Amino acid sequence: MSSETIALSTVGRDARPIGERLHDWVVTVDHKRLGILYIVYALVFLVIGGIEAIIMRIQLVVPHNHFVSPQVFNRMFTMHGTTMIFFVAMPMLFGFATYLIPLMIGARDMAFPRLNAFSFWMTAFGGVLLYFSFIGGNGLYGAGNAPDVGWFAYAPLTARAFSPGHSTDFWTLALLTSGVGSIGTAVNFITTILSMRCPGMTLRKMPLLVWLNLIVGGMVILAVSPLTAAQIMLSIDRYLGGHFFDTQAGGSAVLWMHFFWIFGHPEVYILIVPAFAFASEIIPVFSRKPIFGYPVMVAATIAIGFISFSVWAHHMFTVGMSSNGTTFFTITTMIIAVPTGIKIFNWIGTMWGGKIQFKAPMLFCIGFLFQFLIAGLTGIMLGASPFDWQLGNSYFVIAHFHYVIVGGILFTIFGAFYYWFPKMSGRMYNETLAKWHFWLFLIGFHLTFDFMHIPGILGMPRRIYTYEPGRGWEIWNLIVTVGVFFQTAGVLAFVANLLWSLWKGEPAGNDPWDAWTLEWSTSSPPPDYNFAATPVVHSRRPLWDLKHPEDPDWKYE
């Protein structure tokens, strides 16, 4: 590996006029550039969604606060949830996968590069539509604004009668648009992974990140479509006088819930499985061992993929299902804990007997393991349906899912940023600043989300713009709000690190981590064509085989 002689000519030295360079980015079909576009887009919306959260937490820091009106608060929680799921988490995770999959399988690009670009721009346009609602949501009577119906938009609150103006329609349109983008991306993932692997890379020899994104692709295909269908039905109700969810005409509010959660539950697994993928690439490299139990990891994730389509009504335990229905969804919800737990054990097994290096990517993955364990356990509590009759729709649930999404997914995303930033930019980030990011964010995360469980236990429901004093909720809300400022400081350190390193970071070379998958065999950043010659592989860790010809993996796999 001649890392010392890699020229930095491709890093920020492009001397053409700025207009031409920007034009290249707009018309690109290169998976690497599209991946970066997704990631930067998601980062911008992370900041916007974070501001929405800060507004809510300031409003809730004391009871009967008047920081914002109830109308504004209700828009904030709707926009925060919708933004974070559809315009931060999904694009961020898809962005990394778009960047990495072709590199990891030794391919030149995705199967359908133009579809790739189309998918990105559809997703991007969806975000613009959603935020345009702030100024465009006014319908007749100036009644509209940003959507305020909650990110799951339960019927019949979304009917014309209860949501006049166009705010709900912007929600619908934004998600329909980005949904088309998601399905396009999923088609690309599946086709690329099945049809474009380099010689020797059988399905059993793919990196886990590739396997897990194949499963995610399958889940997106089957899960996003029900949401699309439900939104078409909602629009037919709102504009053509349809009655799908019109309870006055015999329609069913619960039907919307079923359709939404048939999407909504697999959706959260669509978010966590790529996080599992990051952890499964980072933890081995920084423990200096292969992933423990590769076949079991694949099987467990396939099981999670399937089972996730059978648990959806655990979001509906309080709607008055029969005891048979409640019992069925309780057992499926509890069963999904088994393959999930197996994966945690396998990651610990990977670290066991290794030589752990506490660089930033690994720190964030260790945080992920600890937090995902707790999140899984609070999930089991919620899965015990009678317990959910108390905890459901309360701040306990908000604490649980933020534990998964922030403590689990966002932590591994930070880890992935630090791990692959050298590859994508050709420069190393600043390790000290990264450690500041980690500790500040860790403290803030735990201040906010550990203590957030308690108001839920004490009876505080979700989606309330204020609360009554004297119920014992005040101190916990105060602590929760304080944590937000630590998290903000951590994120600022992160952004500063990225920007500074892009300009001033040390040259990274091909393989700064001494890793084992194909993306580390090419330059940092990779050339347009990825590989000068199509690689041929014989094991799951082709670079390990090259670096250890006396002890290659294919002897043991």
Partner 1 sequence: MIAGGLLAAPLCCGAPTDPSQIPSIFKPQSTPANSIFHLSLLVLAITGIIFTVVFSLLVYAVAKFRKRGNDDGREPAQVYGSNQVELAWTVIPILIVLVLFLATARVIRSIQDAPKPAGAIEVIAIGHQFWWEFRYPALGVVTANELHVPVSNPSNPTPTFLTLLSVDTDHSFWVPRLAGKTDLIPNRVNHTWIDPQETGLYLGQCAQYCGTQHAKMLLRVYVDSPEEFSRWVQEQRNPAVNDDAVAEGRRIFETTACVNCHAISGTIADGHFGPDLTHLMSRDTIASGAAPNNHENLRAWIQNPDSIKPGSLMPAMQLSAHDLDALTGYLVTLR
Partner 2 sequence: MSSATFTRTTAEPEWVLPSRGRVGMFSLIAAESAIFTIFVVAYIFYIGKSVSGPTPTDVLELPIFSTICLLSSSLTIHLAVRALRQAKVGAFGLWWFVTMTLGAIFLVSTGREWHHLIYDKGLTVSTNLFGTTYYSLVGLHAFHVTVGLLAIALAMIFTLLGKVKPEHSERAEVFSLYWHFVDVVWVIVFTVVYVIGR
Binding status of residue 543 toward partner 1 by CB under 8 A? no
Query: Between 342 and 443, whose beta carbon lies closer to partner 1?
Result: 342
Window of 82-90, 127-135, 196-204, 548-556 that interacts with partner 1 by CB under 8 A: 548-556
User: Are 378 and 453 a contacting pair, CB within 8 Å?
Assistant: yes
List CB contacts of 490: < 8 A, sequence separation 6 or more. Answer: 436, 437, 438, 439, 440, 441, 442, 444
List CB contacts of 513: < 8 A, sequence separation 6 or more. Answer: 285, 286, 419, 422, 520
Please give the residues from 67 up to 86 whose contact with partner 1 meets the rule CB under 8 A: 69-71, 74
**3-state SS class at 427:** strand
Binding status of residue 2 toward partner 1 by CB under 8 A? no
d(CA 245, CA 264): 18
The residue from 433, 458, 489, 496 that contacts partner 1 (CB under 8 A) is 458
How big is the CA angle at 547 (ends 542 and 550), to the nearest 5 degrees? Answer: 100
Report in angstroms the alpha-carbon separations of 216 from 94, 145, 160, 182, 470: 10, 34, 35, 11, 46
The structure tokens 């390790």 sit at: 431
Query: Between 175 and 375, whose beta carbon lies closer to partner 1?
Result: 375
User: Are 209 and 104 a contacting pair, CB within 8 Å?
Assistant: yes
The one of partner 1, partner 2, none whose footprint includes residue 546, by CB under 5 to 8 A per kind, is: partner 2
List CB contacts of 163: < 8 A, sequence separation 6 or more. Answer: 148, 149, 157
Per the omega criterion (within 30 degrees of 0), is the bond before 63 cis? no
How big is the CA angle at 245 (ends 240 and 248), to the nearest 5 degrees? Answer: 90
d(CA 493, CA 443): 14
Please give the residues from 88 up to 147 whose contact with partner 1 meets the rule CB under 8 A: none
Binding status of residue 221 toward partner 1 by CB under 8 A? no
The residue from 92, 374, 413, 484 that contacts partner 1 (CB under 8 A) is 374
Please give the residues from 399 up to 438 whose contact with partner 1 meets the rule CB under 8 A: none
Window of 14-22, 43-51, 258-266, 330-338 that interacts with partner 1 by CB under 8 A: 330-338
Window of 89-97, 247-255, 410-418, 497-505 that interacts with partner 1 by CB under 8 A: 247-255
Query: Between 176 and 356, whose beta carbon lies closer to partner 2?
Result: 176
Interface ranges with partner 2 (CB under 8 A)? 1-2, 6, 111-112, 183, 186-188, 190-191, 194-197, 199-200, 217-218, 221-226, 228-230, 232-233, 236-237, 240-244, 249-252, 255, 259, 262, 510, 521-523, 527, 530-533, 535-537, 542-543, 546
Please give the residues from 282 up to 301 whose contact with partner 1 meets the rule CB under 8 A: 287-290, 292-296
Binding status of residue 373 toward partner 1 by CB under 8 A? yes
Binding status of residue 367 toward partner 1 by CB under 8 A? no
